[in-house]
Amino acid sequence: MLRKTLPICLAIAGGASGSLWSQDLKSPPINSTGPAIHSLSDSSATTVPIVRPATSPTGNTISATPIVSKPAPQPIIRQEEPVAYADSFLTPMVRPALGENLTVGGWVQTGYHSQSTGLFNNRPDKVNLQQLWVYLQKEAARNPTWDWGFRADLMYGTDAVKTQAFGNPAGTWDFQNGMDYGAYGWAIPQAYGELAKESLSIKFGHFFTLVGYEVVTAPDNFFYSHAYTMFNSEPFTHTGAIASYDVNDTTTLHGGWTLGWDTGFNQLNGGSNYLGGFSRQLNDDLKFTYIATAGNFGWRGNGYSHSMVFDKAVTENLNYVVQSDLLSTDTAGGNNNEVGLNQYLLYTLSERLRAGTRVEWWKSDRTGTSLSTYSVTGGFNITPGDNLIIRPEVRYNWGADLVGADMETPIFGVDAIITF
């Protein structure tokens, strides 16, 4: 795997003292008649198309637009937390009592950013409603006898188009089926059932991926903006089944099969792939997680990917995370190889204030030439109230512009999240 050493920058994180904090080319399809095009800028300033699905396989054009989860008091997203996440410093609220183990909750995220990142935050100089999110969940208890549960999520906002099942044929589930209104839209990112017994949990349906460190759900990330690797080289959702088994107190195994990347109860181009891996607590302060996908990814072609995350509690208040991703696919346009290396330093200043830094390197040869993009982000998490978090940040990108970002200009962003 290609590797590149990156400088480590100090970060600050605010929350429960002493806890760990864890956390496409995924742009929404731009039309239904052909591939979306982004501009590639390097020293030659050439224009080159890049990847992601925009339509269905009946006209069977696949767009190059890229589009790819976790609140902590209660697992608000994802299968099993594959990485050692911190307890959220948003104080858990009393959820409506709808029945045994049944809860309803959500959040509202509104934000502003001065320039486009080319990723999720691509509507600059506007105050955007990015996520209005509601979920209903019945957790399956890990009892000596089998128990059942389910979860359904519904979201509205500017992030919805990128969170839909764009790995589907157009017009199926929530992808290009009349749920979009300009930059805003609706998405149904999760709808799954669950069976559980003691150390075993099996989820089946439409669910968030296990791959990676950063996630789609806003309250579960330290930073307002997202890493290039998360957006470009990882899936967001799957449809299929995934089992998680706690071997002991330190090791959890994951294994399952899905209908490709970013699918919603449908299949594109014969998508069928393995999803699985493991997480292991190596010692009291260090956790390692490996998650892989292999097979036919659908819109992304045939191939293999993995994400490896080391999460280390350096001191009581300082957390260091390093993530390395590899993606290798064989598509109609030829082989595509991508590699990413991200580092996070997160520091707890007080119960109401954290600070953090993310340093990233992402390299892709999807244009025919291997090109690297870099980014450094620094920011704070401020929690003036039990269920309010404010995340100001400054981001600086440089290198090849593979996703239509604002390069070599500092990007200021700030958002506010209210959970309920």
Q: Could you write out the DSSP letters of every residue in 239-277?
A: EEEEEEEE-SSSEEEEEEEESSSS-SSS-STT-EEEEEE
Q: Using CA of residue 383, residue 384, residue 385, residue 391, what is the dihedral sign?
A: negative
What H or E segment, with its residue span, contains residue 282? strand 272-283
- Per-residue confidence (pLDDT) for residue 221, from 0 to 100: 98
> What distance in Å separates the CA atoms of residue 364 and residue 267, rounded to the nearest whole number?
26
| Topology (CATH) of 207-419 | Porin (2.40.160)
Q: The tokens 């003292």 sit on which residue? A: 17
Q: The tokens 């999807």 sit on which residue? A: 366
Q: The tokens 């979860």 sit on which residue? A: 151
Could you give the 3-state DSSP secondary structure of residue 160? helix
pTM of the model: 0.79
> What distance in Å separates the CA atoms of residue 397 and residue 108, rounded to the nearest whole number?
28
- Per-residue confidence (pLDDT) for residue 172, from 0 to 100: 95
Could you give the 3-state DSSP secondary structure of residue 220? helix
Give every residue of the chain whose pLDDT is below 70, as ranges.
1-100, 332-333
Q: How many CB atoms lie within 10 A of CB 386?
A: 11
> What distance in Å separates the CA atoms of residue 340 and residue 231, rounded to the nearest whole number?
11
Contacts of residue 277, Cβ cutoff 8 Å, sequence gap at least 6:
82, 210, 254, 289, 290, 291, 292, 306
Interval 225-277: pLDDT, tens: 999 999 999 999 999 999 999 999 999 999 999 999 999 999 999 999 999 99
Angle (CA) 224 227 231, round 5°: 105
- Per-residue confidence (pLDDT) for residue 406, from 0 to 100: 86
> What distance in Å separates the CA atoms of residue 228 and residue 214, rounded to the nearest whole number?
10
Structure tokens at 53: 């699905």
